[in-house]
Amino acid sequence: AQKVTQAQTEISVVEKEDVTLDCVYETRDTTYYLFWYKQPPSGELVFLIRRNSFDEQNEISGRYSWNFQKSTSSFNFTITASQVVDSAVYFCALIFSSNTGKLIFGQGTTLQVKP
């Protein structure tokens, strides 16, 4: 089965705290592509990052960082020094090579950052 799981339904933090959003996936494919999207209250899905299954190098972009571990089938997302503007629903998603480009989404994690 091909599946993406975001076990954390809701997370609440106080501004300036660090927060990690978990994502695990299941697939038998050897080639796949990993994504994170942010959905603010307006509804539009905003692209954050894309990784392919052959590139396990972690990435940092400003306050955002991603930890991809193929051995544990996880692709976690950390926000450092969170801000109120980070409040949104975050989705982890995958394209499996056998699925011809269909994005399979996790259930999403609602992040609330309180001032």
76: amino acid identity, one letter = N
Rounding to the nearest 10 degrees, give the CA dihedral for residues 73, 111, 50, 3. Answer: 40
User: Could you identify the residue written with the tokens 């969170």?
Assistant: 82
104 binds another protein (CB under 8 A): yes
Q: Output phi, psi for 74, to 5 deg.
A: -130, 150
| Residue choice 19, 21, 88, 95 for contact with another protein (CB under 8 A) | 95
Question: Binders of another protein among 43-72, rule CB under 8 A?
Answer: 43-47, 50, 52
Contact between 24 and another protein by CB under 8 A: the answer reads no
Residue in 75, 77, 90, 91 binding another protein, rule: CB under 8 A? 91
CB 20 → another protein: shortest distance, Å?
21
Separation between Cα atoms, residue 77 and residue 58, nearest integer Å: 10
Cβ nearer to another protein, comparing 18 with 29: 29
Select from 7-15, 17-25, 55-63, 96-104 the region that touches another protein (CB under 8 A): 96-104
Name the token pair of 19.
Answer: 């927060």
Give the span between the Cα atoms of 30 and 50, in whole angstroms: 16
Footprint of another protein (CB under 8 A): 33, 35, 37, 42-47, 50, 52, 91, 93, 95, 97, 99-108
